[in-house]
Amino acid sequence: MPRASGPLAEALAHRAVLLDGGLSNQLAAQGCDLSGDLWSGRVLAEHPDHVAAAHTAYARAGAEVLITASYQVGYEAFAAHGHDRAETTALLRSSVRLAARVAEAADHEVWVAASVGPYGAVLADGSEYRGRYGLSVRELAAFHRPRVEALLAAGPDVLAVETIPDTDEAEALLTVLAETGAPAWLSWTVAAGRTRAGQPLDEAFALAAASPQVIAVGVNCCDPVDVLPALEAAASVTGKPLLAYPNDGSVWNATTRTWYTPEAPAPWPTGAWRATGARLIGGCCRIGPDRIADLAAAVHGR
C-alpha cells in the first residue's frame, strides 16, 4: 500500500497520529554498539539493516510516523571521522529511504519524518539539553541548511525539527524552513516550564505561530511531567496541532554517557494531552516498541 494517503497535516486536522519511540534504545536492544560521538549515526553508516529492523519494530507496534536516523548526522562531526561531504549527504538521504521502505511494507498508513536534530546533538556533549552554543542565528542557519536540503532531496513526508533547546536555534531553523517551503513540526526540549536554555515557553512557541511550514508544535525528550504545562503554553499562543513525545523521565549524563532513571516512572496522561490539542503522540529516548503498542491501544483503541 502507499506509505501515506495524503499529507500528514491533513490527517492531523481529523485525528491523532501515533509516533514511534526512541531509535537509540531500540538499536541498543538489538545489540548495536552506540559508543562514540556518532551514536545512532554510526549504526546508520555501518549497519543500515539494524536501523531498518528498528523502524520495523515500531511499525509493527502501531507507529504511524517513523522518524529517521539522521538526528546525529552532521557534516562536521562525520568529517572528523573520515567521511567526506558527499558521503555524509548520501547518508542523510539513505536515512529517509530506509524509513520509506519500511513504511511502504507496513500494513497500515505510515508517514516518514526526517529528523533534524539540534546543533548540540552533533557535538555529542549533551549541549542539546542546554542550548546557548555561542553561535549567531545566521551561523546556526548555515549549519542546518545543507542537512535540511539533503534530507528533503530524499522525499520525506515531513521534517521532524526536534529537541530544540533555545529560541536562537528555532529562529535559524524557521528561516531555513521558509526558504524550502517544506512542511515540518517544531519540537522543543523543556524543563520546569521553560526551554532548556531558560526562555519562557509562550515566547518559544509563539515563534512558530506564523510559520506556514510548521504543521505542529510541541515537546520531546523531556520528563513526562513537563508535557502538559508545555502543551498548555503552546495552545495559548498558537492554533496549530500539538505534539508530545517525552522520554521516560531519565536524565542524560553526557560525561559518563549514562542515563539516571527515576525510581518511579511518571504517568502519561495522554487523555489530558489530547484534550489540550495533542495530535502527534509517541515516545523519545528509552521508550520502546512495547510502550508504543500501549500508546496505540490508548490513542486508537487497538
Tens-place pLDDT, residues 264-292: 777 899 999 999 999 999 999 989 999 99
**Adjacent-strand bridge partners of 195:** 190
Helix 289-300 to helix 48-61 angle (10° resolution) is 30
Tens-place pLDDT, residues 78-137: 999 999 999 999 999 999 999 999 999 999 999 999 999 999 988 888 888 889 999 999
Quickly state the pLDDT bin for 2 (edges 50, 70, 90).
low
Tens-place pLDDT, residues 186-236: 999 999 999 999 999 999 999 999 999 999 999 999 999 999 999 999 999
Torsion, Cα of 40, 4, 161, 170 (10° steps): 170
**Adjacent-strand bridge partners of 187:** 218
Distance CA 230, CA 237 (A): 11
Tens-place pLDDT, residues 18-57: 999 999 999 999 999 988 888 899 999 999 999 999 999 9
Q: Given this model, what pLDDT does residue 1 score?
A: 44
| pTM for the full predicted model | 0.95
In the 3-class helix/strand/coil scheme, how is 230-296 assigned residue by residue?
HHHHHHHHCCCCEEEECCCCCEEECCCCEEECCCCCCCCCHHHHHHHCEEEECCCCCCCHHHHHHHH
Of 254 and 247, which is predicted with more confidence?
247
Strands 258-260 and 251-253, by their bridges, are antiparallel
Per the CB < 8 A criterion, the answer to whether 138 and 92 are in contact is no
Tens-place pLDDT, residues 147-176: 999 999 999 999 999 999 999 999 999 999
Q: Given this model, what pLDDT does residue 184 score?
A: 98
Can you give the C-alpha Rg of the chain in angstroms? 17
